[in-house]
Amino acid sequence: MAVSIEDVARRAGVSRGTVSHVINGNVAARIAASTQERVWKAVSDLGYHPNRIARSLGRRRTDIVGLIIPSLTNPFFVQIMESMEQLALKEGYQVLLDAMQPISSSGKPVAKLQGWPVDGVLMWSTDALHSLVQMLGAQAGEVPVVYLGGHPRQDNTDSVYFDVYRGAVDMMNHLVEKGFRKIGFLYPFDWVLEQEDEPRQNAYTKVCQESGIEPLMIRMEIQEETRRAGLVAGIELAKMDRNEAPEVVLCFNDIVAEGVLFGLRRGGLKVPDDMGVVGIDGIQTAQYLDTPLTTVRLPTEQMCSEALRILLRRIAEGTSAPAIELAIAPELVKGATA
């Protein structure tokens, strides 16, 4: 049988209300320190766990925030999830995760946060994700939302984003300074070249033009942001005629770059002697390779900290203040692959 708040009250010799004040941190109730100690001892002895849903009915707060990210197949988003959970716990909040939703038999996305009581939402902002209304239903207009992502939004909403464009420019300048003249840009999806505001592609094109370099756009055969897709791309790159092949490849992200590195080696090439490989993300595994990846690190913990700070402020104070837009600066990490 589950332990109730009444059981805790009887064990501690206090009223139900006193137990509620203590476990909810109600300082205004002025509960004596000795009484609080008895309550917490009773909680520990009985193994009591408060019912969050029941608590939320009276407080109009759940101490839960939603986190919507594209997937958990990319370690980059796993880092975001882990950072957000650790930071939220320190603030007394739980994180309810919704990774890129599966598709139901009806062909519609299964939005896992719909109907769940959350105080606010942190949402990765990409065109690949469905709209906020699809993800949250009626709650979309009722709870504060802070967007995360790789480029600024245009709709006057709270957002914390990485300046991926600046990071990609720094990477391209690094490659040019090292003497590379045949730099390939490896991308996974057609929309990368179709979107006017895609930061990686824009940075690549800009530096190529400024440096007098002929752009070499290479679309991946498997249109995925995965190691498997990168592996296949690396094998195909290794087959190219050396006079036509790039000297170095700028990959869309680190997980693809890892796959390309393995594919080039499987194809008989040495990295970076025969062909260089660089990425953008800064995932931890890329630095543990036997040849550490040259990449642009996007500080996920800093982004999570700033985004959560803004969201909790919105939860506490409301949404009437002007929207906040904050850019997080990237960092060029010079590894051994280029």
Question: pLDDT digits over 35-90, tens only?
Answer: 988 998 998 888 887 665 555 545 567 788 999 988 888 899 999 999 999 999 88
pLDDT value for 125: 82
Return the H-helix or E-strand segment holding 238.
Answer: helix 227-239
Backbone angles phi, psi at 300, to 5 degrees: -65, -40
Q: Spell out the residues 6+ positions from residue 11 whose beta carbon is closer than 8 angstroms to its own.
A: 42, 45, 46
Question: Which pTM value belongs to this model?
Answer: 0.79
Average pLDDT for 282-296 = 93
Question: Above pLDDT 70, what percent of the chain?
Answer: 87
| Per-residue model confidence (pLDDT) at position 103 | 45
Tell me, what's the pLDDT at 104? 44
Q: How confident is the model at residue 175 (pLDDT cuts 50, 70, 90)?
A: very high
User: Per-residue pLDDT for 237 more than 60?
Assistant: yes
Q: Amino acid identity, residue 337?
A: T
- Of the pLDDT bands very low, low, confident and very high (cuts 50, 70, 90), residue 193 is confident
Per-residue pLDDT band at 194 (split at 50, 70, 90): confident
- pLDDT above 90 for 27: no
pLDDT category at 149 given cuts 50, 70, 90 is: confident
pLDDT at 130: 53
Strands (DSSP E) contained in the chain are: 64-68, 94-98, 120-124, 145-149, 159-162, 183-187, 216-219, 248-251, 276-278, 295-297, 325-328, 331-333
pLDDT of residue 100: 63
d(CA 295, CA 262): 16
Rg, C-alpha atoms of the chain: 25
When pLDDT is cut at 50, 70 and 90, the band that residue 12 belongs to is: very high
Percent helix, strand, coil in the chain (nearest 5)?
45, 15, 40
Is pLDDT of 326 > 80? Answer: yes
pLDDT at 110: 58
Domains of the chain: 5-50 (1.10.260.40), 64-163+300-329 (3.40.50.2300), 164-297 (3.40.50.2300)
